[in-house]
Amino acid sequence: MKKGLTLLIFSILLAGIFSFGIAQSTTQGPAIVNWGNVKYGGTLNVVMPWGQLTNSVNPFLPTSQTLQMQNLIYESLFYVNSLTGQLTPMLGTSYKWSDDNLILTVTVRNGVKWSDGTPFTANDVAFTFNLIKKYPALDLGALWSKDNYLESVAASDDSVIFTFSKPNTPLLYAILGQLIVPEHIWSKLSDPATYPNQNPVGTGPFLLDSFNPTTNTITLVKNPNYWMAGRPYIDKIVVRSVESNTTVMLELLRGTADWSYVYIPDVQKTWVSKNPSTNKIWWPMNSTLILYLNTRKYPFNNPVFRQAISMAIDRAAAEEKAYFNAGGPSSAIGILPAQQSEWLDPTLEGLNTSYSKYDPKAAQELLASIGFKKNAEGNLVGPDGKVLPTYKLPVVAGWTDYLTISQIIAQNLKELGINAIITQESFGSWWSTITKGMYDMAFAWATGSGPTPYFYFNQELNPSFTSPVGQTSSSNWSGYTNPLITAALNTYSQTSDLRLQKQAMYTIERIFLQDMPFVPVVYGTEFDVFSESHFTGWPSESHPYATGAGIGSAEGEMIALNVHLK
């Protein structure tokens, strides 16, 4: 999983794909695995806990309003592995930055046809981006937001030219991941935002065969004219949506489902151990869950106080009790494990480890160094001689994993003499409290994630996302700002030089550990669950070609292109 990332060029691997024993070579990226001679055919059965589906395959609508099969029917310019940043060329074949990173040129693939036989061209790509500019409701990734500086998109022969008013190289991933639609169909629509698109025409490996609202079942069949030689291997995919995780689990245990994306408590015991030879999971760590500290309030405005809290939290116990060791305890800095070898400053490894190690004695000594000591009753007293008040730690009622971790955090803080009371609230109340900066401490997810740590740090530390207390902030809920970090974020976004980008991240990492603006606690995972009774070729530790986020995601297409009959 720990593979190198480059923003200057994409990795090209030569994959020899065999069809009926005859080698067919194709040039694809790391998400297309060369399995050798494979067995073709079969129907892949998928069960998902999505509830009642809507008969639409509009790729510009939220997934809750569609059949969620967009990524098997439509394609993007590249597949972006969100953990490693590795790129696999799809409708695009190459890209380059020029004019001081104000121009991005993407070359599109020749010989591709839409499923109705119409040739795919660069005009389709330019049309798609201008369509979502014309209809902002379609711009789910906010590509045309004024803060992203995208100025124009135009086709030029077999290339597409993206022009920026100001460099913003991190937007590359969102651009390359945008699904492309056919101009000859979508240009004729009066209202693309409401278009149900029940007979979608795409370039992807599968075609929509039918949707049965009574059984809540989607059937897709192999695109016989798909541009990638020898793929897909399977003939058909049947996706059935049910109402609960429990129903999904029963289907998996019965053997009537080959694949799902579902959280299963204690998954090793309840699923894998039932038949270790066939029952598999792919749960790579892809997100960071953190304890937000309101840095606008005393004593959380003191960086040493925040460092002490980090050292006082038993991360291993929190992960084990809430997630049964599915993910892992976070490092102090919170960068995903798959990105650390490439992006973490090696000179900071010791400090990163020390601040994440559960060491209440060292935490107490650190507090004492800035004048915070326990009194006879065991309560922490500040330098002013006053006992610290009891702090609220809000949790959404019913979120058992968050409640479990918050209880462990409260117990750990009690050892330091800090009293925290957990309050269970409705989601609306909890969300308002955190996003408006009206809290003391709160356990929640990190709002930023992506193929490099920039996306994590930018969302959590960029002052442009922070509003005054009482107004809603989209992210950076801790309220922390540092001009040196802001400058480093700007340096990263305005260059495509990997060396300069790494130096920018190293600067942020050092300041982060010095100031500890919030406390990363555990890593979250994906939840792909597979059975190898009938099919193989799933992503795994040995073949981490996709992050694994279910059939309704970009990763879903990569998995559907790689799985094959045993």
Per-residue pLDDT of the chain (566 residues; tens, 9 = 90+): 333 333 332 332 323 222 222 223 345 889 999 999 999 999 999 999 888 888 999 999 877 667 889 999 999 999 998 877 789 999 999 999 999 999 999 999 999 999 999 999 999 999 999 999 999 989 988 899 888 999 999 999 999 999 999 999 999 999 999 999 999 999 999 999 999 999 999 999 999 999 999 999 999 999 999 999 999 999 999 999 998 889 999 999 999 999 999 988 899 999 999 999 999 999 998 899 999 999 999 999 999 999 999 999 999 999 999 999 888 999 999 999 989 999 999 999 999 999 999 999 999 999 999 999 999 999 999 999 999 999 999 999 888 899 999 999 999 999 999 999 999 999 889 999 999 999 999 999 998 888 899 999 999 999 888 888 999 888 899 999 999 999 999 999 999 999 999 999 999 999 999 999 999 999 989 999 999 999 999 999 899 999 888 998 999 999 999 999 99
Inter-axis angle of helices 303-312 and 400-416, nearest 10: 110
- Rounded distance, CA 313 to CA 304, Å? 15
Per-residue model confidence (pLDDT) at position 126:
98
- Residue pair 420/53 in contact (Cβ under 8 Å)? The answer is no
Establish if 491 belongs to a structural domain.
Answer: no
Q: Which CATH number goes with the domain that contains 401?
A: 3.10.105.10
Establish if 41 belongs to a structural domain.
Answer: no
Q: Which domain holds residue 293?
A: 285-447+518-525
Per-residue model confidence (pLDDT) at position 398:
84
- Residue pair 333/517 in contact (Cβ under 8 Å)? The answer is no
Residue with tokens 């030569």: 14
- Rounded distance, CA 357 to CA 193, Å? 50
- Residue pair 92/112 in contact (Cβ under 8 Å)? The answer is no
- Rounded distance, CA 516 to CA 503, Å? 19
- Residue pair 203/114 in contact (Cβ under 8 Å)? The answer is yes
Assign 535 to helix, strand or coil.
Answer: strand
Per-residue model confidence (pLDDT) at position 448:
82
Establish if 402 belongs to a structural domain.
Answer: yes
- Rounded distance, CA 457 to CA 333, Å? 10
- Residue pair 83/335 in contact (Cβ under 8 Å)? The answer is no
Per-residue model confidence (pLDDT) at position 11:
33
Question: What are the Cα distances from residue 347, in Å, to 174, 359, 506?
Answer: 31, 22, 9
Question: Could you tell me whether strands 279-282 and 528-531 are parallel, antiparallel, or unpaired per DSSP bridges?
Answer: antiparallel
Question: Could you tell me whether strands 103-108 and 92-98 are parallel, antiparallel, or unpaired per DSSP bridges?
Answer: antiparallel
Q: Which amino acid is at 424?
A: Q
Establish if 334 belongs to a structural domain.
Answer: yes
DSSP secondary structure letters along 19-40: ETTEEEEEEE-TTS---BS-B-
Establish if 420 belongs to a structural domain.
Answer: yes
> Strand ranges (DSSP E) for 317-363?
328-329
Per-residue model confidence (pLDDT) at position 61:
84
- Rounded distance, CA 11 to CA 520, Å? 31
Per-residue model confidence (pLDDT) at position 475:
87
DSSP secondary structure letters along 440-460: SEEEEE-S---SSHHHHHHHH
Establish if 196 belongs to a structural domain.
Answer: no
Q: How many domains does the chain have?
A: 1
Establish if 416 belongs to a structural domain.
Answer: yes
Residue with tokens 């058992």: 400
User: Counting Cβ atoms within 10 Å, is residue 296 exposed (0-12), middle (13-18) or buried (19+)?
Assistant: middle
Residue with tokens 């480093």: 488
Within 10 angstroms of residue 390's Cβ, the number of other Cβ atoms is 12
Establish if 475 belongs to a structural domain.
Answer: no
Radius of gyration of the chain (CA): 25
pTM of the model: 0.83
- Rounded distance, CA 59 to CA 70, Å? 6
Per-residue model confidence (pLDDT) at position 14:
27
